[in-house]
Amino acid sequence: MSFFLRTRPSSSLLTNALRPLRTLPPPRSSRTIHTPPNFSGLNCVITGASRGIGHAIASHLASLRASCFLVGRDEATLSSAAANLTASLARPECTPDISYIVIDDVASTKSWEEIAKACPRPHIVVNAAGVSQNQVFLRTGAEEWDKVLNTNLTGTMLGCRYAARQMLRMKSGGCIVNISSLLAIRGGKGAVAYAASKAGVLGLTRALAEELGPKGIRVNAIVPGYIETDMTAAMNPAVVKSVRDRIPLQRFGTVDEVAEAAVFLATNKYANNCVITLDGGMSAAVSTSLNANAKMICFDSDAFQLSDPPKGGSSQVVDPH
């Protein structure tokens, strides 16, 4: 286990975005609406930043001049992610400040001690590391349950604890953004451990928002629906079509759309226990199983295979995520 850290510029500059809530001025007119936020002087720690949603959030924060620490498990992937971000965001007037921290596992306390050593003064912490699941409940063993719960829920809890401890020492407030999932708030097959872990993330967010809010630490969450990443790339094409048909906007979301929500949560001074659902309207839709014309997909719980329904047999729409 090792971590790499580039020397960082020291700055105590804090923007309004992260001052304690009670010291903030009352809302004014549309002064800030069209002004991009400036995160210069703010340190952001982003887990799951080697790819997908975490990587896109790091990219957006770095483009707004934050100093970003990408957290992941694989040095080669992380170093190339950091180098690519630095190259793509470099401007004559400003070089992005992007470092990376290699850890064993977000669910390990030792990993968070290393993160605290590398970044003792975080202003924004994004808990995006996560693993998916594709197994029916009765075949979900204790090992798989532990892996999903540890990564998604314990990892997020440890990230929040690191953020809270450091931000309280700094006495400057801060913002935590947790990535939950649509499965935290609605049903779906083959992902009981995942759903439980992501519902836990929302409970954690809500409780911490109340506990830490008075200290100026805002705790928020994003509830993505189906987003184009490696996590969804492995889905069966028939399932992709079935899911897409149930999304009112008729497409999966992009990582940049999720990253924009993270920037909003980091910027908006009144966002605390703010939960942004980004699912193209899927959570509002009536299940396509009510639509007699929809192509049905059969769920064979013995083989856990997706197939067309047998003639005359009952059929269900599968939610694989």
Ligand X SMILES: NC(=O)c1ccc[n+]([C@@H]2O[C@H](COP(=O)([O-])OP(=O)(O)OC[C@H]3O[C@@H](n4cnc5c(N)ncnc54)[C@H](OP(=O)(O)O)[C@@H]3O)[C@@H](O)[C@H]2O)c1
Residue numbers annotated as active site: 194
In angstroms, what is the minimal distance from the CB of 280 to ligand X? 11
In angstroms, what is the minimal distance from the CB of 119 to ligand X? 16
In angstroms, what is the minimal distance from the CB of 121 to ligand X? 22
Q: Specify the residue, 131 or 196, whose C-beta has the smaller distance to ligand X.
A: 131
Whether residue 181 contacts residue 276, with contact meaning beta carbons closer than 8 Å, is answered with no
Distance CA 75, CA 99 (A): 12
3-state class of 143 per DSSP? helix
Q: Specify the residue, 15 or 135, whose C-beta has the smaller distance to ligand X.
A: 135
Q: Specify the residue, 42 or 102, whose C-beta has the smaller distance to ligand X.
A: 102
- Residues of this chain that bind ligand X (CB under 6 A): 47-48, 50-54, 72-74, 77, 105-107, 128-131, 151, 179, 181, 224, 226-227, 229-232
Name the nearest CA neighbour of 69 among 12, 122, 1, 134.
Answer: 122
Distance CA 321, CA 318 (A): 9
Q: Specify the residue, 47 or 67, whose C-beta has the smaller distance to ligand X.
A: 47
In angstroms, what is the minimal distance from the CB of 294 to ligand X? 22
Q: Specify the residue, 151 or 267, whose C-beta has the smaller distance to ligand X.
A: 151
Q: What is the DSSP string of 242-294?
A: HHHHHSTTSS-B-HHHHHHHHHHHHH-TT-SS-EEEESTTGGGSPPGGG-TTS
- Sign, Cα dihedral of 262, 318, 195, 116: negative
Segment (H or E) for 202? helix 192-212
In angstroms, what is the minimal distance from the CB of 17 to ligand X? 23
In angstroms, what is the minimal distance from the CB of 185 to ligand X? 11
Distance CA 262, CA 68 (A): 14
Contacts (Cβ under 8 Å, ≥6 apart) of 321: 132, 181, 182, 183, 188, 191, 194, 226, 232, 235, 243
Q: Specify the residue, 153 or 217, whose C-beta has the smaller distance to ligand X.
A: 153
Length of the chain: 321
Distance CA 238, CA 235 (A): 8
Q: Is 124 exposed, middle or buried (0-12, 13-18, 19+ CB in 10 A)?
A: buried
